[in-house]
Structure 1
């Protein structure tokens, strides 16, 4: 289980997270960067200017920032997720407080699942900061939930090498309404995820997950965790509908 080192250079960590955010989303505004990192707008502005100076970012005519020539673009998510972060964060805090476990929100970007919001749980040991981390979607609990709700043609386009075994596993996830990642992405970490739907259309938008040390995973608690995740997911969808761009 890989957690944050005891001694980190915070400014470097923020710059690296911001670089990953640019790579994942393609476009980032100063205000969105500040909210995502939990820093002031002036700090976010300085970080973005430094990335631009070193060609990891460049400023667009509308004053937003996009990946620079030295930052591999990879697979972007479909659009910036500032509103999702803003709405989801308080619900993740409530979820982490209620369960003691770390909570995150994931979105699809090509074949990968990207963590766009993260809140660490209070139980010790905890699953540390996963913000801007990404893994193959077929392995994460959130990624599996999202893949399970794709249509057949969209799944084939997203995962060209999908086989019958994975199709069967995803169908089971869809029927159950949740997915479990038991050490598929990190040794010693188990996670449970459910779907977050977009307001209005109710189309798959994201996934919300609880991650915990595998030693604390208890199948007897699974219904309770799924219930808490499902309730938080519904609240996120509700609150997104009230957003100006929701």
Structure 2
């Protein structure tokens, strides 16, 4: 928004800078000093001190024993109010636990946020293989099983924009050009499942399915991640598909005919 003089409305830069400070914290940067925040955001030191103090007073940041800062519990409290994340998670959790008990490996629940997926929950055993993403972290759409499910079912204009953008620079996943990815997504949409094999941070196989809401829109994606070679995709699909359909029904989705077992696993 602009004021009458054409300059940004009063207060807008402060809000932007506050978000920049919060955005400086990531999965690999969970604790930051004041100087690190200043360097990462490019905000003048005096302004950083003032805004960090205000954010800490409100509870968005907390000061650690060594004087550095971490994200505050107040942010988690706010995030828990998001219906697309926490709401779906609350309904899905019992079914995630059943799927975890049946497989003994990672069970992942994710939603789409723009051009990325966000992991809203993950159940894991100590023996499960290492994976690249954490709860609350962002995941690429094109190189993860849950991401491909979400991308295959997102509005066409948004899917086209995502596919036309630069590819994810991520090690360990397959690299497909736009035409190849469109074929994969068509297969995902037709069969109802996505299969992705990765080599980093460990060799894994992931099978994902879509979760639909009362309007029939895809609200989330569910996947199981196991060590490569531990089982064939065909062995995982019945459990993953059943869990996804059960959660969908709990969200109010009603389908005239439930899809059965899909034998075609070409990916």
Match of 1:205 in 2: 219
Match of 2:89 in 1: 85
Residues 107 and 224, structure 2, Cα contact 8 Å, conserved in 1? yes
| Rg comparison, structure with higher value | 2
Distance 1:80 1:178, change over 3 A: closer
Residues 115 and 162, structure 2, Cα contact 8 Å, conserved in 1? yes
Residues 121 and 127, structure 1, Cα contact 8 Å, conserved in 2? no
Match of 2:108 in 1: 104
Q: Where do 1:165-204 residues align within 5 Å?
A: 165-183=180-198, 186-198=201-213, 200-204=214-218
Pairwise CA distance, 1:176: 2.0
Residues 105 and 128, structure 2, Cα contact 8 Å, conserved in 1? no
Pairwise CA distance, 1:55: 8.4
Match of 2:20 in 1: none
Match of 1:7 in 2: none
Distance 1:94 1:16, change over 3 A: farther
**CA distance in 2 between partners of 1:239 and 1:185 (Å):** 35
Match of 2:59 in 1: 49
Q: How many residue pairs are counted as aligned between the two chains?
A: 183
Higher relative contact order (CA 8 A, sep 6+): 1
Deviations 1:200-228 (A, max 9, x none): 21111110000112242x32xx2331111
Pairwise CA distance, 1:133: 2.9
1:232 matched to 2:246? The reply is no
**CA distance in 2 between partners of 1:185 and 1:91 (Å):** 28
Distance 1:184 1:241, change over 3 A: farther
Pairwise CA distance, 1:136: 1.1
Could you say what the CA RMSD is over the residues aligned between the two structures, in angstroms?
Answer: 3.5
Match of 2:257 in 1: none
Distance 1:210 1:58, change over 3 A: closer
| Partner SS for 2:164 | coil
Unaligned runs of 5+ in 2: 1-24, 31-55, 64-68, 166-176, 254-267
Q: Where do 1:67-82 residues align within 5 Å?
A: 80-82=84-86
